[in-house]
Amino acid sequence: MYETFFGLNEKPFQILSDPAYLFMSKTHESAYTYLEYGIRENKGFVVITGEIGSGKTTLINYLLEKIEGNFQTALINNTLIRPGNLIKMLCQDFEIETRGLDDSELLTAFYQFLIMQYSERKRVILIIDEAQNLSMDALEEIRMLSNFELDKQHLFQVILVGQPQLRFKLRQKAIEQLAQRVSVHYHISGLKEDEVNEYIQYRLQIAGAKNFDIFSNEALESIYIFSRGIPRLINILCDTALVYAFADGLKQVNREIIESIIRERELGGFDDFDTGHETEKSPSESDKLYSTPYANPNLTIEQKVDWFENRLEQIEKKISLLTSERDTRDGLILELFKLLQKNIEGRYRFIDKLLSTEKHKRMVK
């Protein structure tokens, strides 16, 4: 849509995982180094975690492209596995015949496959993406499979990749033995502010941009504030901003475009740019984002009511998270009651307006 307008060969901010667009920030470089080390040294269990959209899957795809040597790899993305189905899924991914085999026979077939690979000096690596969704039974099954050893060496290696919940799940007493086998663990954090700028410039370059001033400095600052340095959120913001700028005939994305995207997403009930980053905003940005909609004459009554309903949901989430900061919690509770009052008042005004309109129609008839 906007590629020709901005002199691009393709859309630079697609959210699909594409190793060609992987930006190696310091945290991604460290994660890749840990992955490579864990594989080269056959360290058993390797765990990589990161926020939603932090680039974990892209990093894994990049690893699969770059890794060299005698490796047999399998990647599992569907982690909603019923107990007992994991071994069958593993056999299928490694192209081991499974027809007519019961659980014990599948286990034997998998072990024989590992022995064969070992005899041919090939390493077997299992990568499980979205591992935070694995049940405790599935995690325990993975631990038991990791017991396959020969000559005091692991016959296959497991890399667990998932969201931060995976770290908490691995701390559960029920799978303590698995946690003890994790030799390498690294958490991918969000990009720093200067890295966000470099990330955007890098993707524009890959997409064939000749002009690298498509985003103003103020827009870049707002993108960092609202995205918290999470690549997927940066992509969503930048892609939408380019559409808005193209529609308005603007050759540069400014701060106003970024902030209008945030407001519209909040009015629509999308709060992915709000969760957990309130403290990272400057007061001025926060005030702009959460200022009362009654001051905006362009909003309809229905939009104002929706705004308050969405804001109430956000505050309720934050209240549930604040268990120790009493002053902040009390302030949010006070704000909640004020918004409730305004919400009710807004609804009454909306109903009165509807009743008045209907009464006027009857009188005209």
Report the b/e string of 67-85 with b at 16+ CB within 10 A: eeeeebbbbbeebebeeee
CATH of the domain at 220: 1.10.8
pLDDT at 324 over 50: no
Do 48 and 188 touch, CB atoms closer than 8 A?
yes
Pairing verdict, β 182-188 and 71-76: unpaired
Could you report the per-residue pLDDT of 258-268, keeping only the tens digit for each? 999 988 876 55
Could you report the per-residue pLDDT of 9-33, keeping only the tens digit for each? 999 999 888 888 989 999 999 999 9
Does residue 119 share a domain with residue 66? yes
Does residue 270 share a domain with residue 206? yes
Question: How would residue 230 be classed by pLDDT, with cut points 50, 70 and 90?
Answer: very high
For 238, the token pair is 């930048």
Does residue 197 share a domain with residue 173? no
pLDDT at 331 over 50: yes
The boundaries of the domain holding residue 200 are 191-275
Does residue 332 share a domain with residue 184? no
Spatial CB neighbours of 81, under 8 Å, sequence gap ≥ 6 = 89, 134, 135, 138
Nearest of 64, 15, 22 to residue 235 by alpha carbon: 15
Do 158 and 114 touch, CB atoms closer than 8 A?
no
The answer to the question of residue 109 being in a domain is yes
Residue 282 pLDDT: 37
Does residue 173 share a domain with residue 32? yes
Q: Which residue has the higher pLDDT, 289 or 39?
A: 39
Does residue 233 share a domain with residue 165? no
Residue 104 pLDDT: 87
Does residue 157 share a domain with residue 39? yes
Do 78 and 131 touch, CB atoms closer than 8 A?
no
The answer to the question of residue 151 being in a domain is yes
CATH of the domain at 124: 3.40.50.300
The answer to the question of residue 314 being in a domain is yes
Distance CA 181, CA 152 (A): 14
Counting residues of the chain whose pLDDT is more than 90, the rounded percentage is 36
Report the b/e string of 188-201 with b at 16+ CB within 10 A: bbbbeeebbbebbb
Q: Which residue has the higher pLDDT, 339 or 147?
A: 147
- Out of 122, 154, 188, a domain closes at 188
Does residue 243 share a domain with residue 103? no
Could you report the per-residue pLDDT of 233-253, keeping only the tens digit for each? 999 999 999 999 999 999 999
Q: What is the mean pLDDT of the chain?
A: 80
Distance CA 242, CA 234 (A): 12
**3-class SS letters over 84-135:** CCHHHHHHHHCCCCCCCCCHHHHHHHHHHHHHHHHHCCCEEEEEECCHHHCC
For 261, the token pair is 């995207």
* Total domains present in the chain: 3
Q: Which amino acid is at 13?
A: F
Does residue 246 share a domain with residue 164? no
The answer to the question of residue 18 being in a domain is no
pTM: 0.69
The answer to the question of residue 296 being in a domain is yes
Do 92 and 99 touch, CB atoms closer than 8 A?
no
Residue 265 pLDDT: 74
Burial status of residue 311 (CB atoms within 10 A of its CB: 0-12, 13-18, 19 or more):
buried
Q: What does the DSSP 8-state code read for residue 253?
A: B
